[in-house]
Amino acid sequence: MELRYQESAEEAAQVARQALPFASKHNLPANPVNYAVFYEYIIGSNASFCLELERILKEKNLTQVQIEDLYQRYIAQENEKSNRQAQEQLRNIMLNALSSIIDTDSDSTQYQKKLSESMINLEQDHDFSETRSFVAQIIKDTHMMASSTAQLQQNLNQANLEITELRQKFERTRHEALTDPLTGLTNRRGFDAALLEIRKESEANKQNMALVIIDIDHFKAVNDKFGHTTGDEVLKYVAATLREVVRGNDIATRYGGEEFAIILPETDLEGAHTVANNIRKRICRAPIGRKASQEIIGTITISAGVGQLKHQEEINTLIERTDTALYDAKNQGRNRVCFAK
């Protein structure tokens, strides 16, 4: 899976400079949760999230309760310990950077005051030694200001590095939250988010979108006879087959239990049927064995339903139609693919 956040350190810092005024505009504190929501909105990588936030902004004032809700549904990670650590790091980065800016601003104000005083003194009559003393002091103050500015730049560069590392940590945690640990495929939570986003893109661009739902035939019998360890190997075998067949833009998921689903952007019903049938043929082609004993347990078959998104059709309706097609395949003898009506 590609990294969700791919901005450079400089770009991330620029986003931060936009996020903080955004918080101030809506009279909200720039705490880690709010910052994450503002960051996500400014980079605009999640279309469904941006649309929902823009709808809230148009209808009413943005509240802390709404931000917490958006954060939990679109950004929150399942690993709470990692999340809390990342939030604390972000808080420290922001405080350090802000402290550097305040210190430098204070130094700049003091420098301007000293420079003004020196200019006034130079307008008066002084002997050479006094004038030389004024110039020496100006040079000293200028060096101090340059040093302060350099320190600010160094601190901001360090903050950029830490923000980049933190963003990568957030991405790793998010990836884990959306990935099924057994098969390595996208999990149900990731499936729901991806299906909603791809459906909106397909409607907006007037493109086809298809869905495949797959179920392993007689999987319970495999678990009962050979044990759950063997059952897990069967699940991983099916997942590996899905990865071999799907294209780059397709999203293969473990839908739940022994069910899998594939989201197929820019694909019509016939194309989805071809994909599902290719998977079915590959899976039943080779016998499955137990790793520990090398015992052959037989061949595995799947049943599948395929459906194509209709114009302005709700997601739940598409899933229900495709799921009905899957059960048609089961009722007709299994090891086959059926079209959704």
Q: Which candidate, 27, 28, 166, 41, places its Cα nearest to that of 97?
A: 166
Could you write out the three-class secondary structure of 191-251? HHHHHHHHHHHHHHHCCCEEEEEEEECCHHHHHHHHCHHHHHHHHHHHHHHHHHHCCCCCE
Instruction: Report yes or no: 202 and 191 within 8 Å, Cβ to Cβ.
Output: no
**Residue among 273, 123, 300, 254 at smallest CA distance from 210:** 273
* Distance, CA of 166 to CA of 161 (rounded, Å): 9
> Which residues, including other chains, have CB under 8 Å from residue 336's CB and lie 6 or more apart?
280, 303, 304, 329
3-state secondary structure 106-124: HHHHHHHHHHHHHHHHHCC
Asked if 176 is an active-site residue, the reply is: no
Which among 165, 201, 258, 313 is annotated as catalytic?
Answer: 258
Instruction: Give the residue numbers annotated as catalytic, written as ranges.
Output: 258
